[in-house]
Every structure is written in C-alpha cells, then in structure tokens.
Amino acid sequence: MPNKAAPLRVIARLDTKNGRLIKPVRFEGVRQIDNLMERVESYVLGGIDELAIFDVVSSLYNTPTELEVVGEISKAFSICIAAGGGVSSINDAEKLLRFGADKILINTSAVKNKDLIRSISREIGTQSTAVSIQAKKSELLGFEVMVEAGRQQTGMAVCDWMSEIQDLGAGEIIMTSVDSDGVNAGLDSQLISYLSHCQVDRPLILGGGFSPLSHVGLPRVIDGLLVGSFFHLKGGLSEDVRASVSYV
C-alpha cells in the first residue's frame, strides 16, 4: 500500500462578529463580508479540507461566541469545523460542540490558564484540541506569542510555547502571523524560517497573508495553510493555494 506524503491541508478561516462574516486586517481593522452561507458553499465546492471559525470580538469583550454561525454551517455541510474565540472553560467548548463544532480552538485563555488545554483534551481527546497562536516578530525572542487579538505581549517565544502546549495536550497548532494577517501580501517568510527550527510533533497550520502571487517553499514542519482574505476577497480556490506553495 503506497505511503504517500500527506497533501497540504487548506483550511478556510472565517471570522465572525454578531453572526456576520468579517475580515480583520492585522487583527484590528474590520471589513464586513456578506452572504456567509453562499461563500462557505463556494469554499467547500472549491475543495477546502476544513473550516476554522474564529470570533475575535468574543475574545476581546467576552461576549457569547457566534454559535449560530457554527450551527448553520454544520447543518448544511459535511465538513470538519474547528471553532474558537473566547473559549475559557469546558462549558464554552461544550456549547460550540453542541452547535456543530468538531474541534475546539483555544487561544488567549490557554496562555492565561494553561490547565484549560489539559482539561479540554481530557474530555474530547488530544486530537480535537487545537491551540491557536498569534505570532509577532520580536528582536529579543525571534517570534513572540501575542494574545487579545494580537495586541498584548506575553514575553514567551513561539517555539517554547509550542513545546509547552504539546505537553499539555494540544493536538494541533494553528499559527497566525500578526503582521501579515489580512493584508494579502504573502505569507510571513521570516516566521516560516523561524518555525522550521522549532521542534513540532503536532500538525502545524500556518495563516496570515496568503497570496498566490508569491510562490512559497514550505518546510515539512508546516502541514497546512489557513486562508482567509484570499478566499473572501479574491474568490480563490483551494487548488490555487496548493499550486502556489511547494515543500522544500
């Protein structure tokens, strides 16, 4: 039986606010995108592997996560949904799973309360517990872990935090470059180079700034790409994403 290398996973990123799809720029400025369900349908038909739904606002203001969006998509499509945004307890995770999420994304709360990763992975298994990391270039640390939608520093180097969360029970890591997010100017090449030197034993997904205009060589440590703006604003297809990267 052939043991082919796994193909690059392409994950469409959806950011929601009050049940609407939005597109943050560098985690801050926001553009509103209409026709959520039509868009999701085009992404699914266009060959994405999975969906990741973030609710930036709930993480900042602790408002309820956009459960309805998760529910609507889960009812209509047969595709894996990872969902997060303000998940700070097993109850928050349970709500997302009750509406239709298959995996839980934890970000800010994992930094504040490391035990959260452990307690969620004990309930739903390591494989379904994903931790998202907002990475920002730092003179001192190489790349630093940021929280609160990329606004607050933590003083932790990205490589060190990845080792720690793997031990705590993270089954997957979703990495986004704060500097490249939403600007469509290409993936963060410095972050890619930095990540290639980290010890990572879990699937690692990279997001922030994907553009088909710049061909990128990816190290094998990266298993997939998280793509937002290119899909929302340019109507791109998954095959365009796969065609513009190659493993080196």
Partner 1 sequence: MSKVTILKLGVYNRGSIFNWLWRNGCQPVEECGASIKLDDVQNLIIPGVSTFEKLQSAFQNLDVELFREKVSAGELRVIAICAGMQFLFESSEESPGAKGLGLLKGHISKLQPDSHQSVKSVNIGWRETHINTAQFNHADPVHSFYYCHKYGLANVELDDVIVGKSVFAGVEFASIVKWKALLGVQFHPEISGFAADKILQHFDG
239, 209 Cβ separation under 8 angstroms? no
User: Exposed, middle or buried by CB within 10 Å (0-12, 13-18, 19+), for 201?
Assistant: exposed
3-state secondary structure of 66: coil
175 near partner 1, judged by CB under 8 A:
no
Among 31, 112, 220, 234, binds partner 1 (CB under 8 A): 220
Residue from the set 59, 128, 132, 134 that interacts with partner 1 by CB under 8 A: 128
User: Site for partner 1 (CB under 8 A): how many residues?
Assistant: 45
Q: Which two tokens stand for residue 244?
A: 């513009």
- Write down the least CB distance from residue 113 to partner 1, Å: 17
Assess 200 for contact with partner 1 (CB under 8 A). Answer: yes
**Nearest to 54, CA basis, from 90, 17, 11, 97:** 17
User: Which secondary-structure segment (H or E) carries 24?
Assistant: strand 20-25
* Residue 72, CA atoms < 13 Å, CB-side half-sphere: 16
Q: Which of residues 130-169 bind partner 1 (CB under 8 A)?
A: none
Q: Tokens 């980290």 correspond to what residue? A: 198
Q: Of 109-117, 145-153, 201-209, 233-241, which segment contacts partner 1 by CB under 8 A?
A: 201-209
Give the contacts of 233 (CB within 8 A, at least 6 positions apart): 23, 33, 184
**Which of 124, 131, 178, 225: binder of partner 1 (CB under 8 A)?**
124
Taking CB under 8 A as the criterion, the residue among 28, 115, 167, 201 binding partner 1 is 201
Considering only residues 49-78, where is the footprint of partner 1 by CB under 8 A?
Answer: 49-50, 70-71, 74-75, 78
Please report whether residue 197 would count as binding partner 1 according to CB under 8 A.
no
Instruction: Give the closest residue to 124 by CA, choosing from 154, 102, 140.
Output: 102
- The yes or no reply on residue 6 touching partner 1 (CB under 8 A) is yes
Which has the closest alpha carbon to 54: 114, 113, 107? 107
Among 94, 137, 153, 242, binds partner 1 (CB under 8 A): 94
Give the one residue of 30, 36, 60, 80 binding partner 1; rule: CB under 8 A: 80
- Name every residue whose Cβ is closer than 8 Å to that of residue 115 and which is 6 or more positions away in sequence: 168
| Binding residue for partner 1, selected from 223, 225, 229, 231, defined by CB under 8 A | 223
Residue type, 157: A
Residue 36 binds partner 1 (CB under 8 A) = no
Amino acid at 118: R
**Pick 78 or 140: Cβ nearer partner 1:** 78
Q: Which distant-in-sequence residues (6+ apart) come within 8 Å of 58 by Cβ? A: 64, 65, 66, 85, 86
Of 27 and 99, which has the nearer Cβ to partner 1?
A: 99
Q: Tell me which residues touch partner 1 (CB under 8 A).
A: 1-4, 6-7, 9, 49-50, 70-71, 74-75, 78-81, 90, 93-94, 97-103, 122-128, 171-172, 200-204, 220-221, 223-224
